Structure 1
């Protein structure tokens, strides 16, 4: 059982996933700091010097912290946009690699096929009067 677990845990996909989770957690902290420390104070200044995270609504004993919610929504949109841009960039590189691989896989035609293709092209030009 230990050998099976070891082979599972050391597979490339599992290791890649673990690295992605760790990087994602660190990225989340960076984005949260960006939102809390830079973006939200700027938005607060724009709308009249209000600290959005302090916005609350009190009804009886209940306190609704809708400012913190707004900050979390902005945080989400920044993370979603960043992931979208990263995926878009990665897919762009994958397309380029796929085109390169396709060009590399296309074999050179046999000499007979190349000669027949040239003859066909010449006949087409003659038909058009070129």
Structure 2
């Protein structure tokens, strides 16, 4: 925590400094080393093309939504559903991500696709 600190006993006089340094180390340095190791391991274990594949799961295609959409009280040809698809098709990707977050609670799609969407209480479907 500080140079020569291993040889300094903690006393009433210096315990405040010790606690402050320990908290700072735990919050800042302790996590930084772990994060750096994680990132280093990730880059060593993943080819660049695999990284791009993983990052591409943040793209939300309307046909991906359609494939896993659950309609409740509507059918595919209902006017409201047609309006919904017309709007989704006009959305840019950021707007589709926000829609995804609004409907499912998450703004990203698992690597495996919509079929693997999970919430805190189990599978999460895209429902209208």
Same fold flag (TM > 0.5)? no
Q: Which has the higher contact order (CA 8 A, sep 6+)?
A: 2
